[in-house]
Structure 1
């Protein structure tokens, strides 16, 4: 059975009936309010579920028994879902991100269910140190051990987290986030006027880092929750560049959860709005615009939309020419060299391994100053050589990536897949070298 691309109330209700659960039982299973689930049932395909609930339902469907999945498929195929009709319900709201300490869903019991659901979604994810405490901090905005930071301290701390993320120091980032997330609400409460706007921008950046690091360790579902919070904080700031920046992590999270068309739409529309609202009159706006277009290019490639991917790469080239240098404005790492790195990734995604390697050879490595970007390039090269059947070259690229950023190699599921493929496909001494490297680097095979 194919995965659900987009969950509406109809698909959610079909899954509830396939699991033979009542509205109340299904709501408790998801950690959602009963009235939310009831509204899905009454409105059917007229209601589109929020990103965090879509991720939760993906997880529930994946864990369902074969019999339940068969019933689910049959309900969808026959165009039925067992929906109830109830037009008297109040407006539903999703409680995974209320920010009210769980008051939207039976107080502390609702909080426990949400925490357990999010923790459950990470089963099978690489066991990076610090992930479990981060998940607790993400769903517990009023952590008892939270610290209070002044606006300047909070700004510096978010910047440090961004720097460490781009340097692939993920264990350190996880530790920082566990401290910063509980400090966010006090910082918001203490901010007034213009300072409140700046705090919301910082909140959007903070949740952007949370989503990014969760994607690195393979926790795609929870990354959507972080992306949603980044989007909400950016909207509250009314800062057009912040809104566009948060759209980058939302598009990335959607793409990683197999919603490529939605990711393309989010990136394209956000780039258009940013252009309209700012006329791209600042370096931050140009860099963010270019980074959004590049995100759209990758999403288009993953949806096998070659023409759109190429058009967006060309548009990113124009933005890079307008910017005029390789920089890191608004933490984008954007510039002409960054466009080349994305051309490698897009070619690889479209199955053009030889083209990807050819482009990679033209990248001026001295201009790739961010460890995260350089390691990602070598990982793409390793994937390309593996697809091309040049296994020793693939291993050499992985070794180089490890020298650049050991934590990037240890934590990323994509690296585990490359190493596993190399171990299965390579023969003789080449296979032995792969196994020895994986063991030494801490990559499970």
Structure 2
């Protein structure tokens, strides 16, 4: 069922849950009873007064037209994207220091036992890999509050585990914020991730946290710094683990992920030789790991190396080479990757097609990306920029109808 076809009560319930409000809290916010809210959400009671709709929308921090299932000025699929309210909540969580609560006079935060916290972190990773941003936003906001306190309260060996979970929370936050164009916040979260990783006594988590810092640096235009950081830590991990790393697929995955991100940084500097060398080294590691492992949530393997090779060619302005790489990736190997990775690749492919003037194929790549992970396309500024460019250069009406329909759903006009 399309979002606009959902009963209004379900839309109220959806946004109430997105905002982390219980029925009682929401009822208090709009001056109604919990029973009244429950009846509205179940469709037993109608909402036919515009003044009441306005109050509900204000309490939920959304547009009234959006609550009613109608288009708003920028239709970037609000229901499936992390919206500004949630970004602000993530920012607020990053700006708070929950572990200092007793000194700040803050109310104590109840934290779940570590097994439950671990499940929640895994749930956040799965939501990220599927580009399920609404579910991820709610989970992430809660985790950013609970995970720091959980580490502070943990004792003995449990404290290292709690720190390991905390660094993952910050890493997820950094990655998502970078996709949304929040580069400074992404850097802050990544920096926090490094600190937590250093407390968890796991060099591989330190390595993965390094990729988040380097990616944030890349988004800030610090390409050389990102390149140096990735490469130095990659070789540092191999040195620390020694012979063990050669037979450790998890270690090779982290090492390879660092090299891949180093290659992307090198491509942004225009250094084709370094880009190629890093990709080739990553390929050697990937052949030992194989596809389908996903150690440390890296999705590292031969296919992911090829995706990064194509992306690097795009950054180097070699769109035709990127298409050649794409054509040699087996369909089954691409289909086996997580939706976020596939959609990201099709975005890169669309950019490569646009570079060589093949706008029709660029449009098809965008449609493939939308099919792989809708939110990855409709919620990212980068995707909006690519589609806008395709429409502009195709003079709008010459663009295939499905591409124009996608643009319309995203609120983009030629």
Q: TM-score higher than 0.5 here?
A: yes
Q: Indicate the SS of the match to 1:289.
A: helix
Partner of 1:370: 338
With normalisation by structure 2, the TM-score equals 0.74
CA gap 1:423/1:195 in 2 versus in 1, 3 angstroms:
same
CA contact (8 A) 2:82 2:137 kept: no
* 2:96 maps to 1:140: yes
* 2:257 maps to 1:291: yes
CA contact (8 A) 1:201 1:233 kept: yes
1:307-355 CA deviation, whole Å, 9 max, x = no partner? 1100000000110112233320110000001110011001111010001
Q: 1:439 aligns with which of 404, 408, 414?
A: 408
CA contact (8 A) 1:141 1:181 kept: no
**Which runs of no fewer than 5 residues in structure 2 stay unpaired?**
1-75, 99-105
Q: 1:206-225, aligned counterparts within 5 Å?
A: 206-225=169-188
- Whole-Å separation in 1 of the counterparts to 2:360 and 2:110: 50
1:183-203 CA deviation, whole Å, 9 max, x = no partner? 023211221121111111111
Q: 1:365: how far off?
A: 3.0
Partner of 2:388: 420
Q: 1:128 aligns with which of 82, 97, 106?
A: 82
Structure number with greater CO (CA < 8 Å, separation at least 6) is 2
Q: Indicate the SS of the match to 2:181.
A: coil
Partner of 1:167: 130
**Paired positions, count:** 320
- Whole-Å separation in 2 of the counterparts to 1:411 and 1:443: 12
Q: Indicate the SS of the match to 1:424.
A: helix
Report the aligned-residue RMSD.
1.8
- Whole-Å separation in 2 of the counterparts to 1:392 and 1:144: 56
Partner of 1:48: none
CA contact (8 A) 2:249 2:288 kept: no
CA contact (8 A) 2:262 2:278 kept: yes
Q: 2:282 aligns with which of 316, 321, 340?
A: 316
Q: 1:144: how far off?
A: 4.9
1:208-240 CA deviation, whole Å, 9 max, x = no partner? 000000011110111000000000111122311
Partner of 1:191: 154
**Which runs of no fewer than 5 residues in structure 1 stay unpaired?**
1-125
Q: 2:376 aligns with which of 386, 392, 408?
A: 408
Q: 1:424: how far off?
A: 1.2
* 2:356 maps to 1:383: no
* 2:196 maps to 1:233: yes
- Whole-Å separation in 1 of the counterparts to 2:123 and 2:386: 31
- Whole-Å separation in 1 of the counterparts to 2:338 and 2:410: 21
Partner of 1:150: 113
Partner of 2:54: none
CA contact (8 A) 1:168 1:372 kept: yes
With normalisation by structure 1, the TM-score equals 0.69
- Whole-Å separation in 1 of the counterparts to 2:396 and 2:199: 58
- Whole-Å separation in 1 of the counterparts to 2:396 and 2:345: 27
- Whole-Å separation in 2 of the counterparts to 1:444 and 1:192: 56
* 2:316 maps to 1:350: yes
Q: 2:326 aligns with which of 360, 385, 395?
A: 360
- Whole-Å separation in 2 of the counterparts to 1:235 and 1:161: 22
- Whole-Å separation in 2 of the counterparts to 1:348 and 1:319: 23
CA contact (8 A) 1:227 1:246 kept: yes
